Amino acid sequence: MPVAATNCPGTSISEGSFPVSLNLGWHGGTHVHVPTATPVLPARAIADGEIVFARRPTAANADAAHAQNYNPYGETAAWTDNGMVIIRHVTDIGDGANATDVTYYSLIAHLSSLSAACGRVADGTATPAQRRISRKDEIGAAGRVYGAADHVHVEILCDDVALRRLAGRITGDLAVTAHGRRDAVYGEIYYYLPAGTGFFQNEPAANRTTPAGAAAYTSTDPLIIGIRFGEGDGNHPGDMTLTTYKLDGATVGAAAIRVADAEYELLIRATAIRAAFPATGARPTISAVYDLLRFGRIIGPDALTPATTPHWRQVNYPGGSGWVNLNAEHVFKFSDADFPHWRGWKFIDDDVDDNSQSNSALLVARIEDAANADGRLTRDELIRQMSLPAVRKALSRTVCKFPSEWNRDTIAARWGWLQTDPDAGLSAEDWATFQQHVSALTVPAADLPVPLRGAHWHFHPQEFIAHMRQCSWLSAAEMALTLPKHMFYNATGNPRTAITTAGATYTLTRQTATTRMATHRTPLNVCIRRYIGSSRKRLAIFIAQVTLETAQWRSGGNMCRLMHEWYYGQHSSANPATQYYTAFYGRGIMQLTWAGNYKEYGEFRALPNHTGAYVERLTPASHRITATSRHYLSNPNDGGTLITWSPRFDPDFIGEDPHSACDSGGYYWISKHFDGHTNINRACDAAFTTTVVGRVNRLVNGGGNGYYERQAYAAYLMRYLTEDVSVDVTRQITLPAPKNAITVNFSRT
């Protein structure tokens, strides 16, 4: 979404800037220029939501006296379209009351036409279901803004309650005397190092909190260390980047430090840190150390013991680089979910009147030249400063509270200052013309959602979208949509096609999808946050595998229990391996199978030994796991050996505990060995192809079981989760030989 293609006359500043115009009038969004294409691309919804207001545009005409032929930059008539759509979005960014049901609005104005769905809302004929809109659905066509074609006004706004949930606060800088929020953790992870922190020349032992010898450097001012993991996107997937910041946001060092493959190898490093501790005494679990390395604190249920387990990283400091303990006392941890001020985020609510003129001292301080600051901005100074990239960047991370510019009932109260403003100084005639123009673009208060009638918070749209794309947490509605409407494909035919028979078996409803996933949605989100990250490509391939492995999240009753391999490992001639893995049948979202995989996951979390009888779901009268029973770690045909399992944990725990059911799948994903490496994310980070999906199929389940469904699910999820705007209901894709082609059905629940 490039900024407006036209500049304000006599300046290099795009028309429709955020959050103020060149006369310090508040402006709630940005004017963006629709990318040129044939045909011109439509405006689309930024997220799932409900259309709460829509207005069809007035037909353009050449009448110079028409209210919409107003030109603030000259005398020539310049048409502005007044088509408008407002969408209410409700989402989650994490777990808990302060991170769920986050409500915000997107407003798109200056549309020259509306889509059919928005048109029905504008006409008052839409049903509640027809008001529902999905991310990427068409809203309408971009119109004209003061004569400039193919432009729209984009605005994202919310009330106090929503901002507290989005950012954790609504005022001031982020407090650095306590850890940041834990209910939502995403994006870059930050470590606040107080003055007096020691940096060491060489890497200390992994279990040493106090290295031998003096520090090479001791800080005199607080510093922030930011760690960002590649998470599959960008030019360095799987890498880790460490950046040192000052509290004012300035970076330290000529360049950030990059560690190749560090994200892929977090489990390897966590395992090595645990191994560095003596086998007797306090020894952290690998799971807790993994969280320490990934997030700076624990987001799973496994406590870090000892809590002082060090986290050594090589970072920049003023004048050099050295090793610092990021888990030392008085080091506080944050993430992008905290909207930290050292990354430029500022909340401005010091303009106490109800008009549209900015009287914010905080905003003036952010714009004016600090070297010549006097708390005032002349028009020339404002133009000069807003032409600077650094100022525009600062303003893009400024969240401001001020009155709506779209409330028709408050035109005089909001804009009356233009009559006496020394730069504008509108005459009575000009004021009347201006009022007519604003009236044609605005909306009666009664038609606006309540939060939009008065003062509310405004985000820079592009910055808000970019920020939220770091958050991989899926709401209940979003999670349900990861299941396609038609789950099963015919077992024969070329191409294979979806079974679209009506009925509960073959056609899934959204309500059923929501119900199926309800008990595991939060732990699945935690799993995604820990092991997958924000990459939509990774997520598509991962969820495709999970969907098949969980039998489409179904519980078939009797011997077909959710999160358990159906029939509980009962011997089957169709699956000869059942005679060897028996009680260690598949459980959890990735169907953990074989005693060896259960053993490794138990060691990852240091699950306590079991006491008493083990749960036996197949034949309760004849337990397969006893105090003396021996079980194959892996298939004996592949060299698997026998071990006595008892007194280790009960494998039934993996199927019955929602966190373990999901977490064990994430652990398997990052611990899987192939091609001399670990971590299936490595395979996912290649270009998305059916070959890559097929390879992951093999890594997860040998490649045969549900092959066509897994390919179809991955294709469906790539369309749903990424920026693909295709609308064809079915599409044939070619699979690696000798597999048949498949006609993927993209219907949603």
CATH code: domain of residue 713 = 1.10.530.10
What pTM was estimated for this model as a whole? 0.96
Whether residue 588 has pLDDT greater than 80: yes
pLDDT score of 37: 74
What is the mean pLDDT of the segment spanning 38-48? 90
Instruction: Say whether both 481 and 448 belong to one domain.
Output: no
List Cβ neighbours of 336 (8 Å cut-off, separation of 6 or more): 186, 187, 188, 343, 467, 470
pLDDT tens track for 234-251: 778 999 999 999 999 999
Question: Which of 434, 468, 502 delimits the end of a domain?
Answer: 468
Instruction: Say whether both 336 and 375 belong to one domain.
Output: no
Q: What band does 692 get if pLDDT is binned at 50, 70 and 90? A: very high
**Which 3 state secondary structure label does DSSP give 171?**
coil
Instruction: Say whether both 104 and 127 belong to one domain.
Output: yes
What is the mean pLDDT of the segment spanning 480-506? 95
Return the residue matching tokens 């799987």. Answer: 238
pLDDT score of 242: 98
Whether residue 602 has pLDDT greater than 90: yes
Torsion on CA atoms 647, 649, 652, 658, rounded to nearest 10: 170
pLDDT score of 13: 87
pLDDT tens track for 81-121: 999 999 999 999 999 999 999 999 999 999 999 999 999 99
Domain that holds residue 386: 30-169+345-468
Return the residue matching tokens 């000892």. Answer: 306
- Cα dist from 544 to 206, 211, 482, 705, 715, whole Å: 37, 46, 9, 13, 9
Helix (H) or strand (E) segment spanning residue 386: helix 379-386
Instruction: Say whether both 507 and 654 belong to one domain.
Output: yes
Instruction: Say whether both 639 and 547 belong to one domain.
Output: yes
For residue 231, give the nearest of 474, 532, 472, 527 by alpha carbon.
Answer: 532
- Percent residues over pLDDT 70 in the chain: 100
Answer whether residue 520 is part of any domain. Answer: yes
Distance CA 592, CA 600 (A): 11
What is the mean pLDDT of the segment spanning 525-533? 97
For residue 669, give the nearest of 682, 659, 652, 650 by alpha carbon.
Answer: 682
The better pLDDT of the pair 315, 210 is held by 315
Write a three-state SS string for 285-330.
CHHHHHHHHHHCCCCCCCCCCCCCCCCEEEEEECCEEEEEECCCCC
The better pLDDT of the pair 8, 640 is held by 640
pLDDT score of 10: 81
pLDDT score of 628: 97
Whether residue 53 has pLDDT greater than 80: yes
Distance CA 12, CA 19 (A): 17
Answer whether residue 121 is part of any domain. Answer: yes
Whether residue 38 has pLDDT greater than 80: no
pLDDT score of 166: 97
Instruction: Say whether both 331 and 362 belong to one domain.
Output: no
Contact in structure between 258 and 314 (CB atoms under 8 Å)? no
Question: Which of 435, 468, 501 delimits the end of a domain?
Answer: 468
Whether residue 1 has pLDDT greater than 90: no
Instruction: Say whether both 238 and 327 belong to one domain.
Output: yes
Question: Which of 468, 497, 520 delimits the end of a domain?
Answer: 468
Answer whether residue 597 is part of any domain. Answer: yes
Answer whether residue 13 is part of any domain. Answer: no
Question: What's the chain's average pLDDT?
Answer: 95
Instruction: Say whether both 669 and 557 belong to one domain.
Output: yes
**Which 3 state secondary structure label does DSSP give 477?**
helix
pLDDT score of 507: 95
Domain count, the chain: 3
H helices of 109-237, where? 116-123, 128-131, 160-167
Instruction: Say whether both 574 and 693 belong to one domain.
Output: yes
Q: What is the residue type of 283?
A: R
Q: Phi first, then psi: what are they for 392, rounded to 5°?
A: -60, -40
Answer whether residue 4 is part of any domain. Answer: no
What is the mean pLDDT of the segment spanning 3-23? 87
Q: What band does 623 get if pLDDT is binned at 50, 70 and 90? A: very high
pLDDT score of 294: 98
pLDDT score of 504: 84
pLDDT tens track for 392-434: 999 999 999 999 999 999 999 999 999 988 877 889 999 999 9
Instruction: Say whether both 614 and 652 belong to one domain.
Output: yes
The token duo for 425 is 């100084």
Whether residue 389 has pLDDT greater than 90: yes
Instruction: Say whether both 76 and 214 belong to one domain.
Output: no
pLDDT tens track for 179-201: 999 999 999 999 999 999 999 99
pLDDT score of 32: 94
Answer whether residue 7 is part of any domain. Answer: no
Whether residue 702 has pLDDT greater than 90: no
Instruction: Say whether both 463 and 480 belong to one domain.
Output: no
What is the mean pLDDT of the segment spanning 204-222? 94
Distance CA 639, CA 661 (A): 27
Whether residue 36 has pLDDT greater than 80: no
What is the mean pLDDT of the segment spanning 634-649? 96
